[in-house]
Amino acid sequence: MNFKDTLLASLVPIFLGFGFVIAKPAMEYFPPFLLMGLRFTFAASILIWWFPIPKGFLKKIFIASLIANTLQYSVTYTGLNFIDASAAVLLVQMEVPFGVIFAYFMLKEKPTIRSLVGISVAFIGVYILTGSPNLDGKFFGAALVIIGSGIWALGQVLVKPLSKKINPLALVAWLALFSGPILICLSAIFDGNTINFFKEANFESWIIAIYLGFIMQPITYGCFYYVLKNNPIYKVLPIVTMGIPLTGLLAAIFILGEEPTRQLFFGGAIILLGVIMIVFKNKN
């Protein structure tokens, strides 16, 4: 992978990890459903004009959006709202082990022995991490983040066949177009008057919402799919996967002022070890 592609691939975890963490303070004014609804609505509003309607695929895209975007982000970010961002950014790495499990049962992709060991190691890491004092009395939030990781993996299994037939960025745009308004409607139902949240939100919360929708979503996936187009996935995935927890932890510590415990670091390291065993593969 040349220097340009390596640089672009490195931007992906920076934008994602930073965006995941700074979403937490924004949820003081925007409930998780509403914040994610704004994120996808903003992203769709600038991406959708560049791609034609994917006729013949709208039903499948809608179903995929319900799981991969609407349900997953609702669950994951609701969980984030209950726990420290430093813990959440480590727990979401369970997306990789869950992805292997769902790929086996739904796509008949047989995992290697190394991947199976990696999955076991990752779950041991979760057990250790959830015992951290940072998560004392916050089992519900941690469970939601872990469940959200599983839902994300399931969603990617549904999206994968579509990505082979539809331009990846077009797929991102249409998934966002379906999920954004639905999330905003769900927020209106469960959280109350949406207009009141808009009125009461401070300037910083609006800036975060704008960053998530207009900057992070299109730039992140634009860089990721560009690099993926030019390079084999075994070279791209490790950079993206391992960069997110590092960026997220740094952002949680230096921006949010969180103080992760040694147990959280140790459990997170075990999770990442399991993920490394899964994603770092030889060319052959």
Return the minimum-mean-pLDDT range out of 104-118, 203-217, 232-246, 261-275: 232-246
Which has the higher per-residue pLDDT, 62 or 95? 62
Burial class of residue 147 in the structure, from the number of CB atoms within 10 Å of its CB (0-12 exposed, 13-18 middle, 19+ buried): middle
Q: pLDDT at residue 62 above 90? A: yes
- pLDDT computed for residue 284 by the predictor: 46
CB 41 within 8 A of CB 218: no
Which has the higher per-residue pLDDT, 162 or 77? 77
Provide the residue count of the chain.
284
pLDDT-based confidence at residue 226 (cuts at 50, 70, 90): confident
- pLDDT computed for residue 63 by the predictor: 93
Report the mean per-residue pLDDT for the chain.
Answer: 88
Angle between helices 262-279 and 113-129 (to 10 degrees): 170
- pLDDT computed for residue 229 by the predictor: 67
pLDDT-based confidence at residue 234 (cuts at 50, 70, 90): low
The stretch 86-101 carries a mean pLDDT of 89
Angle at 83 between CA 81 and CA 216, to 5 degrees: 55
pLDDT-based confidence at residue 222 (cuts at 50, 70, 90): confident
- pLDDT computed for residue 70 by the predictor: 94
The stretch 174-181 carries a mean pLDDT of 94
- pLDDT computed for residue 206 by the predictor: 96
86/271 Cα distance (integer angstroms): 14
Residue spans per domain, the chain: 3-279
150/232 Cα distance (integer angstroms): 25
pLDDT, tens digit, 9 for 90 and up, residues 96-150: 888 888 888 887 778 889 989 999 999 999 999 988 888 888 899 999 999 999 9
Share of residues in the chain with pLDDT > 70 (%):
95
